[in-house]
Amino acid sequence: MHKIQYKDINTDKDNILKVIEEMIPIYKRMEKHTQVLECDQWVLMLSRKPILPEYTSDAILALKNILNDCANICLSYYEYDLGNTAMILMDKVSKLFKQMRYE
């Protein structure tokens, strides 16, 4: 399986964790158990020392979906800072898929 390089993972780690910490209780209230597990998996991957910069396309897609949900929910409920952060990160992750296609 082809791995995707996320070279900025060390600089984006804190913002990704903020988004995930916001989304876990939301997903639990919505009873989206699969998304909670995906969030937990990303927390685990980001807690490794050193953080690995290579991820499967499924893991990156799960992160993109979490970021998208956060952007939609936060911007709808006037949490512009976190919603904007999620959108910026989602744009970065989307570009990773485009780079993979051209490699």
* Structural domains of the chain, count: 1
Domain that includes residue 63, residue range = 3-102
3-state secondary structure 43-75: HHHHCCCCCCCEEEHHHHHHHHHHHHHHHHHHH
Residue 61: per-residue pLDDT: 93
- In the three-class reduction of DSSP (H, G, I as helix; E, B as strand; rest coil), residue 7 is classed as coil
* Integer Cα distance of 62 and 12 in angstroms: 16
Residue 103: per-residue pLDDT: 57
**Position 97, amino acid:** F
Q: Which residues pair with 4 in a beta bridge?
A: 55
Structure token pair of residue 61: 């897609």
Residue 3: per-residue pLDDT: 86
For the chain of 103 residues, list the mean pLDDT of each consecutive stretch of 10.
86 96 95 96 93 91 95 86 93 84 58
Residue 75: per-residue pLDDT: 86
pLDDT above 90: percentage of residues in the chain: 72
